[in-house]
């Protein structure tokens, strides 16, 4: 029967070609679309995890501790070594957040000084995104500080000016003067009004030698949302290695709001996919449907020649199936290599990448498609094609031969 | 005219085909309109949130205060307010005194920007007074209203006292104020940070008078009105609309619109393919019929015109139906808050983005134009390809074809 | 002299009732009058202890100067209080900072006392007092905030010796009736007619193991201190 169907299809070459091309086009487009959406989703994932790390290490109860000295991980160098031994290949970033009084020439404010030590790429990413003027303090810089724009305004300090930090009662020097080297526009207003960045050694020197508030672990093998659940066993492993004094959290646990945001992308993607698939479905439906309707007369002839009705229905369906499958296969053959090529990294042409970057996406993105997404695409295209054929096939099967032969589409 | 009638009759004769084509065109138009209405709705809700929840529709301050919001840069005198009150574009006027302070409970404390307001006038320029979830809005001095998130963080309940510490003109000042109400607007920017006190308390604490005058103006006209009111103001004082108050977020919002274009284009291409395929298939199917008409004496060029007319008529019907469906859906979504719930997590994750839980679609006539562009691209393919086919057709050959 | 027993540093108005008279007597004991001395401040946390030694000058009213002498790392840091204003001096920077409101929640030398506690206010101005119990040994006052008083507490109980009115304990309750902070006084010494507590313990009742102890030594009361002790110059160079 499939052979018959195959032959029938080639009898109506133009028409069949049209229908197969329609299915193929939809499959091709869908694969590409999935790949692009996957790239956006993973791009977002990479941006988020680049900012906060995949896994964070804090002191246990860090959310409730208000006392600065109780809130830090002391002996950070040893902890870092243990992290690197447990999870080799991990890039470890560290931050020490010091509540301090920051003073300009005349005005002073309560501020949160963040001593940062980040992988170079993460640092640059941060600088391009948030630095308004000047630069960030260099990794070992004991003198430079970058202020939140609103904080700089209230302190009436600009690049080149000196600001003074007071943190009496800490284990460090408790006071230090810094030169403003840059202004950072933090996206969060309260952070912009309170936040300042200095190097980790500078913050440790000021308030807590050898201590950090948290470690951020960047695991280079986790670049895709789909792999995210793989973080859980690693977290367990690290927790066991670090002991009870510290708590290991995945980025989702540390930043539930960001996790919610990442999750909320899924319904959005589904809405986009639905809008797209409905259109693609219409494209397949009208092509297959018209090509089947058109042949009503032919079916009438077949029935008149004594074929059983069920057989006619099945024949039409088989034809449709072969047609859709051929088109889908062609679409996949053309689409998958393209996605595979884009999975090695691509950026948008014509300066679009800058806009995409402003959106919070990396400039170079990696297309990504999951096997189930290919399956969904195939099932959708073939399913819609079959459904489109089913109704005319039933009509054809039920036709009185004479009527059918007279039928003009 | 005869051709038109012929085409019209053809459209109705091939009902199934027509319905399919209409459906495809209508859907494309619908999706385009829906998309823009949604996107603009998102932007508008950010501006609304800024204008009615977080800031003010129009804010008049000294330019120094705009750059450095400190009570030091308060308005030197208020004589210009009378002129504003008399302006017909200004619907309500409210005086505000904002100052940085520390808010303290028995357990903890937090740095906040406190807004001193005239309780009655404030209701004219902001919706915050009408979004009190627990307790009530401010009535007299000695009272405090907090965003519910802020109140929860420092752990103060309605009826309890919290302390506001600030720097007065001559030394530190503090006041114990009773929490009378919690603000719940759904906008994180407000619920997590708002601290409102009576203007008299604010004055007593800071020794300043007024840092800003908030004005209510027509919805959607905020930024234009802000610009138009500037000439009425003395030097050193300016009026600002919500877009200007948004600062960096503004670029993100505008980027949002531009970023949507590739998606719209991709959609238009698929829509074009769908419309084209429908027309092509229907012409191929009717090859014999068209051949017959041609044999009867209609020149291929005229026949092509009939086919084109058919496509235009069908597309037009589809477009109109799509417009009706699109604008109809937007009309519903402009009244019922469907989108807000879907995007609640956006506001939570980016608290810099003043989003409320309510997002309503926007309706604008220009979407019909956008939709027609999508449909036009589609229709162009759909018209040209089959018409070319018809023009090249030899009648005899066509009739022989099945 | 009670510069660190700040929570209760006072200038009392005329006491209209018996309870207020008692309160005033307690406060008078507490204040010790003008003088100078050494305070050893121990900040205890569940897993650590930090000790500071500092020299204090007080005019017995609302002015005080504190200079840290040990540990070496913090030596030279100084704090000056005049009325509600507080200045911090960092010898490393040779700079003085007037404490901004947004900095008032930071803790004083990492202890259980915040800067805002240091700008101690007039208790009688903020609270109404009532005697709740009095036997031969102790007298207990209950202090309720006046309307609008800048205090986040719902109630204070003050326990004092029934004879000398020497302060024994202050307990701070939140507005839900839960005790959140306790300050206990002991090792009283006679200063003229007064009974001054030389050991003060501040306990955070919500977080076990958080405790700050201040012990006075080498105190000299009734010394006349020059006005220059309470100036920014003295903050930087000390007051001798």
Phi-psi region of B171 (alpha: psi -120 to 50; beta: other; left: phi over 0): left
Tell me how crowded residue A366 is: count the other CB atoms within 10 A of its CB: 18
Binary contact (A101, C48; C-beta < 8 A): no
Give pLDDT, residue A351.
Answer: 54
Q: pLDDT for B371-385, tens place per residue?
A: 887 677 766 776 676
Q: SS3 for A134?
A: strand
CA angle A393, A397, A402 (to 5 degrees): 120
Q: Which residue in B307, C82, B16, B380 sits closest to A391, CA to CA?
A: B16
A273 versus B43: which is more confidently predicted? B43
- Asked if residue A171 lies in contact with residue A84, where contact means CB atoms within 8 angstroms, the answer is no
Residues of B in contact with A285 (CB under 8 A): 20
State the average pLDDT over residues A194-222: 91
Q: How many CA atoms lie within 13 A of A232 on its CB side?
A: 3
Residues of B in contact with C101 (CB under 8 A): 100-102, 165-167, 172
CA angle C201, C207, C212 (to 5 degrees): 20
| Structure tokens belonging to residue B211 | 């840092």
Percent with pLDDT over 70 in chain B: 81
A319-328, B295-304, C87-96, C107-116: lowest mean pLDDT where?
B295-304
Residues of A in contact with B267 (CB under 8 A): 275-276, 279
Phi-psi region of A50 (alpha: psi -120 to 50; beta: other; left: phi over 0): alpha
Tell me what ipTM this predicted complex has. 0.81
| Cα distance between residue B219 and residue B223, in whole Å | 10
Give pLDDT, residue B141.
Answer: 94
Beta bridge partners of C49: C44
Instruction: Label residues B262-292 b or e (16+ Cβ within 10 Å = b).
Output: ebbeebbbbbbbbbbbbbbbbbbbbbebbbe
Provide the CA B115 distance to its chain's centre, in angstroms: 27
**Residue in chain A lying closest to C92 (CA):** A175
- Provide the Cα torsion A143, A148, A150, A151; round to 10°: -40
Q: Count of A–C CB contacts within 8 Å?
A: 78
Confidence of residue B276 (pLDDT cuts 50, 70, 90): confident
A26-40, A203-217, B269-283: lowest mean pLDDT where?
B269-283
> With 50 as the cut, is the pLDDT of residue A319 above it?
yes
Beta bridge partners of A146: A182, A197
Test the C interface: residue of A174, A178, A205, A245 with most C CBs within 10 Å: A174
Confidence of residue A226 (pLDDT cuts 50, 70, 90): confident
Binary contact (B106, C154; C-beta < 8 A): yes
Binary contact (A275, B350; C-beta < 8 A): no
Which residue from B166, B171, B177 is facing C83, i.e. has the nearest CB? B171
Residues of C in contact with B162 (CB under 8 A): 152
Give pLDDT, residue C4.
Answer: 45
Give pLDDT, residue C10.
Answer: 36
Subunits with 3+ Cβ pairs within 8 Å of A are B, C
| Cα distance between residue C12 and residue A269, in whole Å | 69
Q: Which residue in C214, B154, C209 sits closest to A67, CA to CA?
A: C209
What is each CA distance from B8 to B23, B301, B306, B309, B383, in whole angstroms? 18, 18, 9, 8, 16
> With 60 as the cut, is the pLDDT of residue B241 above it?
yes
Confidence of residue A172 (pLDDT cuts 50, 70, 90): confident
State the average pLDDT over residues A298-304: 73
Give pLDDT, residue A212.
Answer: 94
- Asked if residue C55 lies in contact with residue C38, where contact means CB atoms within 8 angstroms, the answer is yes
Binary contact (A264, B262; C-beta < 8 A): no
| Structure tokens belonging to residue A121 | 């790429």
Residue C71: cis peptide before it, omega within 30 degrees of 0: yes
| Cα distance between residue B373 and residue B397, in whole Å | 37
Residues of C in contact with B104 (CB under 8 A): 105, 116, 152
> With 60 as the cut, is the pLDDT of residue A43 above it?
yes
State the average pLDDT over residues B359-373: 80
Instruction: Label residues C109-137 b or e (16+ Cβ within 10 Å = b).
Output: bbbbbbbbbbbbbebbebbbbebeeeeee
Q: What is the pLDDT along chain C (240 residues), one digit of tens a residue?
A: 344 443 333 333 333 357 888 888 887 777 667 888 899 999 888 878 889 999 988 887 778 888 999 888 888 888 888 877 888 888 888 888 888 776 777 778 878 887 767 655 567 788 898 888 888 889 999 999 998 888 889 999 999 888 888 889 999 999 999 999 999 999 888 877 778 888 999 998 988 888 999 998 888 887 888 888 888 888 888 776
Q: How many CA atoms lie within 13 A of B62 on its CB side?
A: 17
A9 versus A196: which is more confidently predicted? A196
Q: Which residue in A284, A325, A291, A270 sits closest to A25, CA to CA?
A: A284
Give pLDDT, residue C169.
Answer: 92
Give pLDDT, residue A315.
Answer: 77
Provide the CA C193 distance to its chain's centre, in angstroms: 20
Q: How far is C95 from chain A (nearest CA, A)?
A: 8
Question: Is the minimum CB–CB distance between C100 and chain B shorter than 8 Å?
Answer: yes
| Cα distance between residue C106 and residue A110, in whole Å | 8
State the average pLDDT over residues B291-320: 77
Tell me how crowded residue C91 is: count the other CB atoms within 10 A of its CB: 16
> With 90 as the cut, is the pLDDT of residue A57 above it?
yes
Question: Is the minimum CB–CB distance between B251 and chain A shorter than 8 Å?
Answer: yes
Q: Say which DSSP state C4 is in.
A: T
Give pLDDT, residue B401.
Answer: 47
Binary contact (A69, C48; C-beta < 8 A): yes
| Cα distance between residue B342 and residue A261, in whole Å | 11
Give pLDDT, residue C16.
Answer: 37
Instruction: Label residues C169-203 b or e (16+ Cβ within 10 Å = b).
Output: bbbbbbbeeeebbbbbbeebeebeebbbbbebbbb
Give pLDDT, residue B112.
Answer: 87
| Cα distance between residue B37 and residue B323, in whole Å | 12
Which residue from B27, B251, B252 is facing A279, i.e. has the nearest CB? B27
Give pLDDT, residue A403.
Answer: 61
Helices B287-296 and B300-333, interaxial angle, to 10°? 130
Q: How far is A133 from chain C (nearest CA, A)?
A: 26
Q: Which residue in B238, B223, B137 sits closest to B180, CA to CA?
A: B137
Provide the CA B335 distance to its chain's centre, in angstroms: 13
Binary contact (A164, C45; C-beta < 8 A): no
Binary contact (A110, C109; C-beta < 8 A): no
Tell me how crowded residue B366 is: count the other CB atoms within 10 A of its CB: 9
Beta bridge partners of B387: none
Binary contact (C102, B106; C-beta < 8 A): no
Q: SS3 for C118?
A: helix
Q: How far is B175 from chain C (nearest CA, A)?
A: 4
| Cα distance between residue C190 and residue C3, in whole Å | 18
What is each CA distance from A85 to A57, A81, A90, B206, B315, in whole angstroms? 15, 6, 9, 56, 67
Q: How far is B82 from chain A (nearest CA, A)?
A: 31
> With 90 as the cut, is the pLDDT of residue B202 above it?
yes
Give pLDDT, residue A266.
Answer: 66
| Structure tokens belonging to residue A383 | 């399913």
| Structure tokens belonging to residue A155 | 């302190």
- Asked if residue A16 lies in contact with residue A323, where contact means CB atoms within 8 angstroms, the answer is yes
Residues of A in contact with B67 (CB under 8 A): 153
What is the 3 state secondary structure string of chain B? CHHHHHHHHHHHHCHHHHHHHHHHHHHHHHHHHHHHHHHHHHHHHHHHHHHHHHCCCEEEEEHHHHHCCCHHHCCCCCCHHHHHHHCCCCCEEEEEEEEEEEEECCCCEEEEEEEEECHHHHHHHCCHHHCEEEECCCCCCCEEEEEHHHHHHHCCCCCCEEEEEEEECCEEEEEEEEEEEEECCCCHHHHCCCEEEEHHHHHHHHCCCCCEEEEECCCCCHHHHHHHHHHHCCCCEEEECHHHHHCHHHHHHHHHHHHCHHHHHHHHHHHHHHHHHHHHHHHHHCHHHHHHHHHHCCCHHHHHHHHHHHHHHHHHHHHHHHHHHHHHHHHHHCCCCCHHHHCHHHHHHCCCCCCCCCCCCCCCCHHHHHHHHHHHHHHHHHHHHHHHHHHCCCHHHHHHCC
Give pLDDT, residue A58.
Answer: 92
Confidence of residue B158 (pLDDT cuts 50, 70, 90): very high
Confidence of residue B402 (pLDDT cuts 50, 70, 90): very low
Residues of A in contact with C109 (CB under 8 A): 168-169
Q: pLDDT for A232-242, tens place per residue?
A: 899 899 999 88
Tell me how crowded residue B335 is: count the other CB atoms within 10 A of its CB: 10
Q: How far is B65 from chain C (nearest CA, A)?
A: 19
| Cα distance between residue C174 and residue B106, in whole Å | 6
Which residue from C101, C150, C172 is facing B176, i.e. has the nearest CB? C150
Test the A interface: residue of C90, C92, C107, C202 with most A CBs within 10 Å: C90
Give pLDDT, residue A198.
Answer: 94
Confidence of residue B220 (pLDDT cuts 50, 70, 90): confident
Binary contact (B142, C147; C-beta < 8 A): yes
State the average pLDDT over residues B155-170: 89
Question: Is the minimum CB–CB distance between A156 and chain B shorter than 8 Å?
Answer: yes
> With 90 as the cut, is the pLDDT of residue B97 above it?
yes
Give pLDDT, residue A361.
Answer: 56
Binary contact (A109, C109; C-beta < 8 A): no
Beta bridge partners of A26: none
Q: Which residue in B194, C161, B274, C151 sits closest to A388, CA to CA?
A: B274
Q: pLDDT for B109-149, tens place per residue?
A: 888 889 999 999 999 999 899 999 999 999 999 999 999 99
């Amino acid at each position: 029967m499939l052979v018959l169907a195959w032959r029938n299809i080639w009898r109506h070459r133009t028409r069949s070609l049209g229908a197969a091309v329609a299915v193929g086009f939809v499959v091709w487009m869908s694969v590409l679309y999935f790949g692009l959406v996957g790239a956006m989703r993973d791009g977002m994932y990479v941006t988020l995890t680049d900012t906060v790390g995949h896994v964070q290490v804090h002191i246990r109860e860090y959310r409730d501790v208000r006392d600065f000295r109780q809130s830090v991980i002391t002996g950070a160098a040893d902890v870092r070594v243990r992290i690197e031994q447990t999870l080799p290949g991990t890039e470890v970033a560290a931050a020490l957040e010091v509540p301090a009084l920051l003073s300009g020439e005349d005005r002073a404010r309560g501020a949160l000084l963040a001593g940062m030590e980040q992988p170079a790429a993460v640092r640059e990413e941060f600088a391009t995104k948030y630095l308004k003027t000047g630069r960030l303090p260099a990794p070992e810089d004991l003198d430079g500080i970058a202020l939140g724009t609103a904080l700089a305004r209230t302190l009436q300090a600009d690049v080149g000016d000196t600001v003074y930090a007071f943190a009496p009662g800490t284990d460090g020097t408790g006071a230090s003067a810094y030169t403003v080297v840059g202004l950072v526009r933090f996206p969060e207003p309260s952070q912009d009004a309170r936040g300042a960045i200095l190097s980790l050694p500078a913050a440790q020197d000021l308030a807590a030698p050898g201590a950090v508030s948290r470690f951020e672990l960047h695991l280079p093998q986790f670049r895709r949302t789909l792999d995210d659940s793989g973080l859980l066993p690693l977290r367990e492993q690290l927790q066991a290695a670090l002991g009870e004094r510290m708590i290991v959290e995945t980025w989702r646990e540390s930043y539930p709001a960001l996790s919610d945001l990442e999750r909320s992308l899924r319904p959005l993607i589904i809405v986009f996919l639905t809008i797209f698939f409905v259109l693609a479905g219409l494209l397949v439906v009208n092509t297959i449907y018209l090509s089947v309707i058109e042949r009503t007369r032919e079916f009438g002839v077949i029935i008149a020649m004594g074929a059983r009705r069920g057989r006619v229905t099945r024949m039409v369906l088989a034809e449709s199936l072969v047609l859709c499958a051929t088109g889908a296969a062609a679409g996949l053959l053309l689409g998958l290599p393209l996605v595979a090529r884009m999975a090695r990294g691509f950026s948008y042409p014509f300066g679009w990448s800058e806009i995409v970057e402003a959106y919070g996406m990396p400039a170079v993105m990696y297309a990504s498609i999951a096997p189930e997404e290919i399956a969904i695409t195939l099932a959708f295209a073939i399913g819609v094609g079959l459904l489109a054929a089913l109704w005319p096939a039933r009509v054809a099967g039920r036709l009185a031969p004479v009527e059918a032969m007279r039928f003009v589409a | 005219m005869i051709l038109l009638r012929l085409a019209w009759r053809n459209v109705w004769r091939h009902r199934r085909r027509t319905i399919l084509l209409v459906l495809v065109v209508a859907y494309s138009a619908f999706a385009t309109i829906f998309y823009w209405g949604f996107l603009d709705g998102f932007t508008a809700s950010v501006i609304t949130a800024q204008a009615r929840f977080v800031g003010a529709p129009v804010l008049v301050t000294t330019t120094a205060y705009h750059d450095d919001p400190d009570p030091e840069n308060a308005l030197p005198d208020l004589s210009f307010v009378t002129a504003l009150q008399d302006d017909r574009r200004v619907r309500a006027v409210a005086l505000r005194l904002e100052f940085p302070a520390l808010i303290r409970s028995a357990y903890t404390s937090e740095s906040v920007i406190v807004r001193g307001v005239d309780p009655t006038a404030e209701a004219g320029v902001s919706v915050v007074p009408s979004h009190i979830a627990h307790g009530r809005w401010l009535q007299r001095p000695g009272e405090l209203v907090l965003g519910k998130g802020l109140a929860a963080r420092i752990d103060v309940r309605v009826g309890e006292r919290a302390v506001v510490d600030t720097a007065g003109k001559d030394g530190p000042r503090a006041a114990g104020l009773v929490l009378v109400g919690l603000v719940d607007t759904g906008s994180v920017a407000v619920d997590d940070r708002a601290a409102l006190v009576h203007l008299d308390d604010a004055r007593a604490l800071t020794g300043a008078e007024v840092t800003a005058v908030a004005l209510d103006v027509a919805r959607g006209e905020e930024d234009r009105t802000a610009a138009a009111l500037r000439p009425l103001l003395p030097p050193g004082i300016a009026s600002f609309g919500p877009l200007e108050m948004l600062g960096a977020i503004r670029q993100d919002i505008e980027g949002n619109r531009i970023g949507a274009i590739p998606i719209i284009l991709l959609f238009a291409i698929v829509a074009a393919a769908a419309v084209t395929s429908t027309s092509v298939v229907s012409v191929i199917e009717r090859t014999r019929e068209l051949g017959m008409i041609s044999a009867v004496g209609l020149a291929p060029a005229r026949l092509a015109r009939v086919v084109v007319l058919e496509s235009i008529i069908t597309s037009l019907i589809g477009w109109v139906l799509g417009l009706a469906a699109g604008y109809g859906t937007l009309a519903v979504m402009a009244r019922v808050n469907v989108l807000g719930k879907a995007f609640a997590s956006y506001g939570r994750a980016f608290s810099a983005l003043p989003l409320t839980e309510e997002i309503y679609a926007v309706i604008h006539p220009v979407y019909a134009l956008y939709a027609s562009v999508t449909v036009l691209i589609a229709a162009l393919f759909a018209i040209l390809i089959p018409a070319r086919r018809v023009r090249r057709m030899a009648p005899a050959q066509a009739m022989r074809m099945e | 002299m009670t510069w660190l027993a700040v929570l209760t540093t006072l200038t009392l108005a005329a006491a209209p009732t018996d309870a207020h008279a008692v309160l005033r007597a307690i406060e008078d004991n507490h204040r010790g009058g003008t003088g100078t001395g050494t305070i050893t401040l121990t900040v205890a946390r569940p897993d650590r202890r930090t000790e500071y030694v500092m020299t204090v000058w007080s005019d017995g009213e609302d002015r005080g100067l504190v200079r840290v002498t040990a540990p070496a790392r913090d030596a030279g840091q100084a704090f000056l209080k005049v009325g509600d204003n507080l200045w911090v001096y960092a010898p490393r920077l040779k700079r003085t900072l007037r404490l901004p409101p947004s900095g008032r929640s930071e803790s004083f030398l990492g202890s259980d006392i915040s800067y805002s506690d240091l700008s101690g206010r007039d208790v009688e101005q903020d609270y109404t007092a009532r005697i709740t119990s009095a036997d031969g040994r102790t007298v207990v006052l209950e202090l309720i905030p006046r309307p609008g008083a800048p205090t986040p507490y719902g109630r204070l109980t003050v326990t004092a010796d029934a004879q000398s009115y020497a302060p024994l304990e202050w307990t701070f309750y939140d507005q839900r009736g839960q005790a959140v902070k306790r300050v206990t006084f002991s090792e009283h010494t006679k200063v003229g007619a007064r009974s001054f507590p030389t050991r003060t313990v501040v306990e955070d009742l919500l977080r076990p193991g958080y405790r700050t102890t201040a012990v006075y030594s080498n105190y000299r009361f009734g010394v006349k201190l020059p006005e220059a002790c309470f100036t920014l110059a003295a903050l930087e160079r000390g007051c001798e």
